[in-house]
Amino acid sequence: MLTDIQRLQAMGLDVWQLRHPAIYDQTHEVIQLPDACQLLLVCDTPLSEKDAWLFGNILKSMKLRPEQARQLPHAALSALGEHRLTWCWYIDTPDVIIDGVRRLDSIPLAQMHDNPTAKRDLWRQICQYD
């Protein structure tokens, strides 16, 4: 599902003016990721300690450090500002897709611990970009 801004950009409109700006909420917060953030994990539930351990190991295999990754819930993606992401990893089906980044899709990390097939599928997705 595209946001209004993404629709305008898809039509090639980079500059626009609102006819009735008062009807839009002026307090809309924009989420700014740190410049060093290269991977965004889109997941609605906080990671348990065990999940964070697995996530850290996956990051290492991708040659990324924990400080280069952030987690946001699906609902926050529409508020994402300018970024320098390389990867976006979606847990469950996303409503908003971040364009221009490498996309990964998987089951929740909590279900991945004892599921070698899911781990292998994720690894194949990662390797397809090499």
Could you report the per-residue pLDDT of 23-70, keeping only the tens digit for each?
555 556 788 999 999 999 999 999 999 999 999 999 999 999 999 999
Distances (CA, A) of 29 to 18, 32, 88, 113, 115: 18, 9, 21, 35, 38
Kindly report, residue by residue over 71-82, the tens digit of the pLDDT: 999 999 988 999
Q: Across all residues in the chain, what is the average pLDDT?
A: 86
70/93 Cα distance (integer angstroms): 18
Assigned domain for 74 exists: yes
The pTM for the full model equals: 0.77
Confidence class for position 130, pLDDT limits 50, 70, 90: confident
Would you state the pLDDT for residue 9? 66
How many structural domains compose the chain? 1
Please write the tens of the pLDDT for every residue from 83-129.
999 999 999 888 889 999 999 999 999 999 999 999 999 999 999 99
Residue whose entry in the numeric block shows the structure tokens 């390389």: 86
In a domain, 69, yes or no: yes
Residue 98 belongs to domain with CATH number: 3.40.50.10220
What are the backbone dihedrals phi and psi of residue 64, each rounded to the nearest 5 degrees, phi first?
Answer: -120, 150
Model pLDDT, residue 93:
86
Asked, for residue 26, whether it belongs to a domain, the answer is no
Can you give the residue range of the structural domain that contains 45? 34-127
**Within the chain, how many helices (H) and strands (E) appear?**
4, 4
